[in-house]
Amino acid sequence: MTSEIADGTTGLLVKAFGNLLHIRFDGDVRQGEIAMIELGDLSLKGEVIEIAGDIAKVQVFEDIVGVELNTPVRFTTHLLEAELGPGLISAIFDGLQNPLERVADASGLFLQRGVYLPSLDRRKHWDYHPHAKVGDVLERGDTIGTTMEGRFHHKIMLPFSMRGKYTVSWTIKEGAYSIDEVIAKVKDEKGKEYPLTMTQKWPVKLPLMQGKKIKATKMMDTGERVIDTQFPVLKGGTFCTPGPFGAGKTVLQHHLSKYSSVDLVVIAACGERAGEVVEVLKTFPHLTDPHTNESLMSRTVIICNTSSMPVAAREASVYLGATISEYYRQMGLDVLLLADS
């Protein structure tokens, strides 16, 4: 979404090692900043992973065919961010949160480089119910209003990037609105006013957390007795399922997605073979949620980058999955994050 990127520092390519580019820049650049490599009318997205003097090392998320000495690079001032809001559930993204179904419509059978589409549907209208009233004092993570996302009450929260106390100065009435429409306005302690929409952005490599971490004490029922008795899993804990090719790891993943006692499932396919990813995409829409008898996709988010993708893109899919999971966790939902490599 290059249209949303602010003007920042520029630089020129001086050296390349595969997808790792050395960029000489003049200005301010920070660790983790997103850079756009300009190839004519095509822009490739990369991330600053190291800074040494006036050289920034940029890991590019896509194939760099066409890059040459003195290729211009534009630094965006933004970190790698996830867009959070209604419409995430049932979606299929890549590691940069491009909606793959709409990317396929735009690119055809073969995905093209440099295609970055809005993560969430701008045309859909959501039934919004305001909760905060004029004069209410809010902090990051407090609920402004709600909308129904499937069977879940999606809480529209004060963006987690807004630290301090904010007073509600205006709120929209109940109705159907798109995610880009202003639904409320708040003022900080200095009187500066900020418009709020149903979406917010958060850097994927920073933990999204408000409050204290709770000690894991409750069991997560996996629906598989041999796991629940011999290798119990706690809500808030972690576990792994190692095994060789063909051992049944993906089958177990399907089972956990169906029967685990959680509200949402986020799957990050961060390096599977293309055939396995296709199997997941073809199978999950036809799996039935035993708790609701609806499609399992009605409570699932899929993020996929195959083993043929650059390492940086595969790594980003794990961070994106964790950020989306943390976002819904802050709403009070139980979320199962499955990272399958």
**Same-domain check for residues 167 and 213:** no
304 and 233 within one domain: yes
Residues 253 and 111 in one domain: yes
The pLDDT tens digits of the residues spanning 254-272 come to 889 889 999 999 999 887 7
For residues 45 and 135, state if they share a domain: no
Q: How far apart are CA 283 and CA 309, in angstroms?
A: 22
Q: Are residues 56 and 182 in the same domain?
A: no
Task: Report yes or no on 204 lying in a domain.
Answer: no
- Residues 279 and 154 both lie in one domain: no
Assess whether 193 and 291 both reside in one domain: no
**Model confidence band, residue 313 (pLDDT cutoffs 50, 70, 90):** confident
How many distinct structural domains can be found in the chain? 3
- Pair 182, 213 in one domain: no
The b-or-e profile of 12-21 (16+ CB within 10 A means b, else e) is ebeebeebbb
Task: Give the 3-state secondary structure of residue 250.
Answer: helix
pLDDT at residue 2, as a whole number = 36
CA dist., res. 165 & res. 186, Å (int): 10
Pair (217, 116) in one structural domain? yes
Choosing from 161, 178, 198, the residue where a domain stops is 198
Query: How far apart (Å, rounded) are the C-alpha atoms in residues 203 and 53?
Result: 25
- The residue range of the domain holding 141 is 126-198
* CATH code of the domain covering residue 52: 2.40.30.20
In this structure, of 129-138, 179-188, 272-281, 290-299, the range with the lowest mean pLDDT score is: 272-281
Query: What residue type is assigned to position 226 of the chain?
Result: V
Least trusted range by pLDDT, from 152-156, 159-163, 337-341: 337-341
Tokens 């890549």 -> residue: 94
**What pLDDT shows up at residue 295?**
87
190-216, pLDDT tens digit by residue?
A: 999 999 999 999 999 998 887 778 888
Say yes or no: 92 and 239 in one domain.
yes
Residue 128 is predicted with a pLDDT of: 97
Overall pTM surpassing 0.85 (yes/no)? yes
